[in-house]
């Protein structure tokens, strides 16, 4: 029944929230939602989902052939989807509304070296507030694997679901055993948020995303219940040599939150991946030279709001949230008065990414050009 998962006292506010998203499309993040659906975690923490299995990330650089490398990239990519898109259901009972990051919000973290996989570092910066855009870097320097990307969302409402188009892309650099640096363009799937009517939203992935290098094109199709395998969270990845390159074709099929198999090509019938292995949350670290967290680091910035949400003290949460928002408005006014603008700390914006421009035609990805946030290579002392 409608609103089944909504606390009785919040049903009418949930209904009006749903009405307002139905009649409005654009920036969902800034809309006020009832307390039961609020998450205490900011979107700046989400890029950590890209590396919950650091050994799969580092393993990419260990592969000797083009073919094994692209398969290792696919395996790592698929292994992140469960965390990215279903983990809030597990930890909080449903998808929730994350905290909307402020401009300049930061998050630093590290996955320590273990079993020779090397240390992997994470750096996230909120590079725009209106619309919200989050830029991130994940790097394992000792292995020579580095992911730099940014993401924003365009939301609309259709048939009772929220449709989220992910804007932005990531570039993965891999130093091969022969010393060459390969580039992989990674695009992102579309999301459908269902279960809104009942007050227990969850995500299904839809349409297509790509992993493209000069050597291989990997097309990943996503389907939910009732489509090609009939099951939720289904995917089918087709790998073919890029135009002008040689190599074998492979098809991998299965469920991105559990297991998948090769379904065509030289390894047909063999297991591809089982996501149910151990995962490792990032260790949040302070980015100040003292090792402390600065005032813009997400866990410090939002600590009182997050505490309020966690403890069910929504009055304090909303008072502390207003403080942060007012402080931001004042900053913007001061900048306007002084004729200055906010300076990003770790990224510079470019209108068109040359790597995207070079690789996207190989998979006929549209649009043909996209902007990018270039990492300034200025890691704070985040190592452990």
**Near ligand CLR by CB under 6 A: residue from 6, 28, 174, 252:** 28
Instruction: Please state, as a whole number, how many other Cβ atoms lie within 10 Å of the Cβ of residue 126.
Output: 23
Compute φ and ψ for 114, nearest 5 degrees: -150, 135
In the bound state with ligand CLR, the residue whose beta carbon lies nearer, of 59 and 193, is 193
Contact characters 224-253, ligand CLR, x per CB under 6 A: ------------------------------
Closest CA to 170 of 266, 86, 84, 288: 84
What whole-number distance in Å separates Cα of residue 288 and Cα of residue 126? 17
Minimum CB separation of residue 168 from ligand CLR in Å reads 9
Q: How far is the CB of 299 from ligand CLR (least distance, A)?
A: 18
* Binds ligand CLR (CB under 6 A): choice among 25, 63, 89, 97: 97
Q: Which of residues 289-348 bind ligand CLR (CB under 6 A)?
A: none
* Count of residues of this chain found to bind ligand CLR when the rule CB under 6 A is applied: 19
Coil vs helix vs strand at 62: helix
Residues numbered 136 to 165 that lie near ligand CLR (CB under 6 A) are 151, 153, 164
Nearer to ligand CLR among residue 166 and residue 357 (C-beta): 166
CB of 364 to ligand CLR, least distance (A): 24
Our CB check for ligand CLR shows the closer of 79 and 153 to be 153
Considering the rule CB under 6 A, would residue 37 count as an interface residue with ligand CLR? yes
Distance CA 83, CA 90 (A): 10
Q: Compare residues 6 and 74 and give the one whose CB is closer to ligand CLR.
A: 6
- 79 makes contact with ligand CLR (CB under 6 A): no
Q: Least separation, in Å, of the C-beta of 302 and ligand CLR? A: 16
Site residues for ligand CLR, window 196-225 (CB under 6 A)?
201
Residue 275: HSE in the Cβ half-sphere, 13 Å Cα cutoff: 23
Q: Least CB distance from residue 132 to ligand CLR, whole Å?
A: 8
Answer yes or no whether residue 107 interacts with ligand CLR by CB under 6 A.
no
Please work out, in degrees rounded to the nearest 5, the angle formed at the alpha carbon of residue 46 by the alpha carbons of 45 and 48. Answer: 80
User: Of the candidates 29, 79, 120, 234, which one interacts with ligand CLR according to CB under 6 A?
Assistant: 29
Strands (E), the chain: 38-42, 97-99, 106-111, 120-128, 133-140, 145-158, 161-167, 170-175, 181-186, 190-194, 202-212, 216-223, 234-241, 250-255, 259-264, 271-274, 283-284, 347-350, 372-375
User: Which among 93-101, 106-114, 227-235, 272-280 is the span making contact with ligand CLR, rule CB under 6 A?
Assistant: 93-101
User: Nearer to ligand CLR by C-beta: 310 or 364?
Assistant: 310
CA 287 – CA 232 distance, rounded (Å): 40
Give the C-alpha separation, 171 to 185, whole Å: 5
CB of 333 vs ligand CLR, minimal distance in Å: 26
Instruction: Closer to ligand CLR by CB, 33 or 206: give it.
Output: 33
By the rule CB under 6 A, 33 interacts with ligand CLR? yes
Sign of CA dihedral 299, 303, 306, 307: positive
Burial of 275 (0-12, 13-18, 19+ CB in 10 A): buried
What 3-state class would DSSP assign to 120?
A: strand
Among 52, 66, 67, 95, contact with ligand CLR (rule: CB under 6 A):
95
131: preceding bond cis by omega (within 30 degrees): yes
Q: Which residues of this protein are in contact with ligand CLR, per CB under 6 A?
A: 28-29, 33, 37, 43, 46, 49, 84-85, 95-98, 151, 153, 164, 166, 193, 201
């Amino acid at each position: 029944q409608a609103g089944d998962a909504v606390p009785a006292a919040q049903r009418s506010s949930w209904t009006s929230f749903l009405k307002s998203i139905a009649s409005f499309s654009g920036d969902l993040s800034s809309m006020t939602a009832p307390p039961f659906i609020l998450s205490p975690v900011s979107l700046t923490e989400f890029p950590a989902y890209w590396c919950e299995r650091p050994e799969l990330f580092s393993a990419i650089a260990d592969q000797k052939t083009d073919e094994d490398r692209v398969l290792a990239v696919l395996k790592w990519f698929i292994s992140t989807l469960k965390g990215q898109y279903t983990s809030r259901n597990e930890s909080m009972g449903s998808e929730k509304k994350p905290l909307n990051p402020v401009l300049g919000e930061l998050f630093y973290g590290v996955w320590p070296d273990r079993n020779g996989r090397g240390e992997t570092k994470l750096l996230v910066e909120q590079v725009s507030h209106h619309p919200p855009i989050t830029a991130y870097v994940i790097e394992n320097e000792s292995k020579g694997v580095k992911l730099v990307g940014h993401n924003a969302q365009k939301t609309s409402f259709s048939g009772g679901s929220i449709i989220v188009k992910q804007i932005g892309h990531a570039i993965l650099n891999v130093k091969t055993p022969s010393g060459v640096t390969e580039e992989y363009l990674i695009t992102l799937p579309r999301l459908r948020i269902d279960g809104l009517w009942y007050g227990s939203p969850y995500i299904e992935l839809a349409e297509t995303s790509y992993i493209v290098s000069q050597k291989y094109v990997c097309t990943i199709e996503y389907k939910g219940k009732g489509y090609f395998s009939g099951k939720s969270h289904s995917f089918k990845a087709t790998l073919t040599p890029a135009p002008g390159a040689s190599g074998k074709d492979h098809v991998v099929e299965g469920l991105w939150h559990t297991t998948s198999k090769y379904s065509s090509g030289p390894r047909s019938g063999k297991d591809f991946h089982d996501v149910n292995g151990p995962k490792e949350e990032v260790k949040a670290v302070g980015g100040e030279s003292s090792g402390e967290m600065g005032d813009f680091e997400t866990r410090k910035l939002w600590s009182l709001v997050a505490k309020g949400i966690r403890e069910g003290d929504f009055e304090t949460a909303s008072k502390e949230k207003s403080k942060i928002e007012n402080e931001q408005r004042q900053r913007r006014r001061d900048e306007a008065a002084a004729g200055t603008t906010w300076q990003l700390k770790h990224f510079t914006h470019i209108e068109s990414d040359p790597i995207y421009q070079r690789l996207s035609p190989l998979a006929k990805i549209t649009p043909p050009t996209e902007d990018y946030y270039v990492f300034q290579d200025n890691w704070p002392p985040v190592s452990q």
